[in-house]
């Protein structure tokens, strides 16, 4: 789902609710807008607002948790890539071809996961060929002694771990935010703004307050959806750990 489109749609619905509530407030007789009635509306609206706040908090927690988990996996992958290169370097000059293949695999990994020149990232393509070639290059090493044999086994183990993290990133590319939950939150927000605008005084300050509140809520939904797209959009999982790891390869 497009975060901008969703946020704009929610904002439009809230502004329509405010305008509709103002119109309804003018049509309701003053007799039905007593202090007791206003208190009742505020009480009922406050209950809905509490539920909406709890659900928004749940969405924020889910999106932030997913974003942090992917960031941790990227850091973990970067550390394993650096360690893999050092293990291959310790193996000897015979591992030069395997180290070159690992570097090529990392370069393609960065291009595939993060957006490149405005093209879709991990959601569009996830080529495994470079990673497979790197693993086969490691497996093709012919150890001459126990030291090289142990280093080869460790390198193969690290390559498998990196491939597993890469596969997890692919599996987690599906958005974690439920569209149904988002629709429920939007409906509750419409009810809240409609209720408040009905009993709000018809003056510019009250309308400006409702407008700012609508912008704030729409902005919160935009941030939630952006956090749920860690490899594209305004709030991306930083690729600096992988870039730093790439700069260390071959040294």
pLDDT score, position 119 = 47
Is the pLDDT at 17 greater than 70? The verdict is yes
Average pLDDT value for residue range 26-33:
76
Can you give the residue ranges of every domain in the chain? 3-248
pLDDT tens figures, 133-158: 888 889 888 988 899 999 999 999 99
Is the pLDDT at 4 greater than 80? The verdict is yes
Residue 76 Ramachandran class (φ > 0 left, ψ -120 to 50 alpha, else beta): alpha
pTM reported for the whole predicted model = 0.73
Average pLDDT value for residue range 22-31:
80
Lowest mean pLDDT among 21-30, 99-108, 124-133, 184-193: 124-133
Q: Mapped to the 3 state alphabet, what secondary structure does 22-71 carry? A: HHHHHHCCHHHCCHHHHHHHHHHHHHHHHHHHHHHHHHHHHHHHHHHHHH
Residue 117 Ramachandran class (φ > 0 left, ψ -120 to 50 alpha, else beta): left
Is the pLDDT at 117 greater than 70? The verdict is no
pLDDT score, position 1 = 67
Closest CA to 52 of 99, 6, 10: 10
pLDDT score, position 25 = 81
pLDDT tens figures, 158-175: 999 988 888 887 777 677
């Amino acid at each position: 789902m497009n975060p901008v489109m969703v946020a704009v749609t929610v904002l439009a619905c809230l502004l329509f609710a405010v305008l509709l509530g103002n119109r309804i407030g003018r049509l309701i007789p003053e007799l039905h807008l007593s202090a007791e009635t206003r208190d009742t509306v505020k009480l009922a609206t406050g209950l809905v607002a509490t539920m909406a706040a709890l659900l928004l908090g749940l969405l924020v927690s889910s999106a932030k948790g997913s974003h942090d988990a992917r960031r941790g996996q990227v850091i973990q992958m970067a550390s394993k890539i650096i360690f893999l290169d050092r293990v291959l370097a310790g193996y000897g000059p015979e591992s030069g071809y395997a180290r070159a293949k690992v570097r090529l695999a990392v370069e393609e990994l960065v291009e595939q996961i993060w957006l490149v020149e405005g093209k879709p990232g991990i959601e569009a393509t996830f080529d495994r060929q470079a990673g497979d070639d790197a693993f086969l290059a490691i497996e093709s090493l012919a150890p001459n002694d126990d030291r090289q044999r142990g280093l080869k086994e460790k390198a193969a183990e690290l390559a498998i771990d990196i491939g597993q993290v890469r596969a997890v990133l692919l599996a987690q590319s599906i958005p974690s935010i439920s569209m149904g939950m988002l629709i429920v939150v939007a409906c509750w927000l419409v009810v809240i703004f409609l209720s408040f605008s009905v009993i709000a005084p018809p003056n510019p300050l009250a309308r400006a307050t409702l407008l700012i509140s609508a912008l704030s809520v729409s902005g919160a939904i935009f941030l939630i959806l952006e956090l749920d797209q860690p490899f594209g959009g305004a709030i991306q999982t930083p690729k600096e750990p992988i870039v730093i790891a790439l700069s260390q390869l071959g040294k």
